Amino acid sequence: MSEAQALFQRAIALRDVQDLGGALDAILLSAKAAPCDPNIALGLAQISFEAGLNAADLYANAARLQPQRLDIQRSQAVALAAEGKQPEAEALLESVLAANPGWIDGHRCLCGIRATAGDEDFARSFNGAVRRDTGNFGLRMAWFHVLATARQWDSARTVIADAEAALGERQPSLLGKLFIASESGEQAANAGLFDGVEHVRDVGLDLARVRHFLRGGQIERARDVCLRHAGAPPMRAFWAYLSLAWRLLGDNRSDWLDGGMRDVRSFDLGLSAGDLAELAQTLRLLHTMREPWHEQSVRGGTQTERPLLLRVDPVISAVRSRIEAAVARYIAELPQPDTAHPLLAAPRGEFLFAGSWSVKLRPGGYHANHTHPMGWISSALYVTVPEASQRGPAPAGHLQFGSPPPELGLALEPYGSVEPRPGRLVLFPSTMWHGTVPFTDGERMTIAFDVIPARPTANLPAKT
């Protein structure tokens, strides 16, 4: 193995254990030794981006070495947007889409960049692409999904109607119509809405079924759909809904699963007023978007992109160390292992961040009730919070647990809540429903992350 390849392998191994500083050192040496290697060039761009550095030019170089890779040009556009160059990001994607109108990932990326910039006509690229490629049913359904995620029901209905008029009804369009009928409230009370597709087995469809059954009072049916995924990886998405069904049915297994506030813990990270002020200043510079992504829980605020806690930044690194110590303590103090439980079954050794970000809420902002099915342990670290006089009557601004999404119309009270305080870290199971109560005035800025157990890794390649 050449020196460049050995360094490249070391960089990848260090990235896998989330040592971005070490990974960056290794990949820079690798790129110096082999400046025209396409994989090393892409690795340099990716590691630099994840480390919080400017990477658009590095992605451009990687794209020149692998011009057939549309995904690299997508990453370049994301990096341009992250550097505050939204017009250039849009122009790049528009150019690539002009030559590749059926490139669905490119359309989705462009929609996201436009939506987070506050562009109300964020999905317009699909319109021209469909006119050029009228027979591409998948492209039409991707357009539908983008609109449905934004809850633009009328526009989503029109896209499906046009698709079926041109190409006939197909299973994806049928399922899309059922989804709209349920989630928009149009046929929320129709008990048999999904009966015609009972033979279709699909995780996304099952989630729609569960939500519809809960909304319509068919609690046993909701429970049974959840349980069909027991023991399989998709069950991560169904635990929270199963909890709701068990609570509504008076099944004491809901206490086994959630335990009320049993597994919600608060930690004081010992951050001084100066530490918090410096952290707040650092985070504000990262909140460059105007609106959140449509698929997020944020309402009335913004969320940062790229993995926050992996950034090569001394302020972020300092708070990461405190966070890691608190997470390790939380894991060490969990109840006895239980192989059937989503929190208690996991191995309790090393852990990794599955995602990390900051949220800044404006006056009136809040988080809709949600869960984190890709995580194991989730969090909220309060950096700035409104003054008590700004929040409004308690529990304004509090983090609540156990309340179902209000659109389901379920008469279940929250288990409890945690008051936000600067420097307070709250850790809880990723499968628990959680959300925040709107506040009246001021700024509420947090760091949030998901943790997953680390998989055993091979020894790192030696330094050369």
What does the pLDDT read at residue 460? 46
Q: Counting beta carbons within 10 angstroms of the beta carbon of residue 152, is it exposed (0 to 12), middle (13 to 18) or buried (19 or more)?
A: middle
Q: Are 390 and 225 in contact (CB under 8 A)?
A: no
pLDDT > 50? residue 44: yes
Pair 353, 450: CB distance under 8 Å:
yes
**Which token pair is 4?**
């460049």
Both tokens assigned to 389: 């006089």
* pLDDT digit string, tens, across residues 204-231: 999 999 999 999 999 999 999 999 999 9
List CB contacts of 92: < 8 A, sequence separation 6 or more: 73, 76, 77, 80
Question: How far, in Å, CA of 384 to CA of 91, rounded?
Answer: 36
Integer Cα distance of 288 and 273 in angstroms:
24
Pick the CATH number of 265-453 from 2.40.50.140, 2.60.120.620, 3.40.50.2300, 2.60.40.420: 2.60.120.620
Give the strand pairing for 424-429 and 377-384.
antiparallel
pLDDT of residue 458: 45
261-297 in b/e form (b: 16+ CB < 10 A) is bebbbbbebebeeebbebbbebbeebebbebbbbebb
At residue 249, the pLDDT reads 98
* DSSP state at residue 341: S
Please name the helix (run of DSSP H) or strand (run of DSSP E) that holds residue 38, with its range, or none. Answer: helix 38-50
Model pLDDT for residues 151-169, shown as the tens digit of each residue: 999 999 999 999 999 999 9
Cα gap 322→333, rounded to integer Å? 17
Query: Which residue has tokens 């009972």?
Result: 198
DSSP string covering 224-289, please? HHHHTTTTSGGGGGTHHHHHHHHHHHT-THHHHHTTTTTT-EEEE----HHHHHHHHHHHHHH---
Q: What is the DSSP letter of 407?
A: G
Query: In a 3-state reduction of DSSP, which class is residue 117?
Result: coil
Number of H helices, E strands in the chain: 18, 9
In this prediction, residue 456 carries a pLDDT of 64
Percent of the chain with pLDDT over 90: 87
Q: What is the pLDDT of residue 83?
A: 93
Residue 244: pLDDT band (50, 70, 90) is very high
User: Which residue type does 123 have?
Assistant: A
